Structure 1
């Protein structure tokens, strides 16, 4: 598994937590930051998935 997938998943989870805290406290800026972190995490996870596929294909 590629490190980008691990880091992306961690960013996504961190973003969800940040968004939840923002909702609880009424902090719109924190909510937005959380959503942005989630999007960044999903993108990084996707890049890692592509790298994994390339490795699998070239290893054959």
Structure 2
């Protein structure tokens, strides 16, 4: 896993967290769903990369 991919996945999770929070504040369910989706997909990508590295060694 490269450093670039790590940063990309962490920023996606952070962006999702921020979007979800904005959706909650404005009571916009579409933004909440979009933020939750971004956050979860970023976290899942991080987990997948960690699993790859664990079996690589």
Give the total of aligned pairs: 55
The Cα RMSD (Å) is: 1.5
TM-score by length of 1: 0.76
TM-score by length of 2: 0.79
Higher RCO (CA-CA < 8 Å; seq separation 6+): 1
> Where does structure 1 lack aligned partners over 5 or more consecutive residues?
none
> Where does structure 2 lack aligned partners over 5 or more consecutive residues?
none
In structure 2, what is the equivalent of residue 18 of structure 1? 19
Runs of 4+ in 1 over 4 A off after TM superposition: none
What whole-Å deviation, never above 9, does each CA across 1:8-43 have from its counterpart, x for those lacking one? 211111100000111111111000100000110011
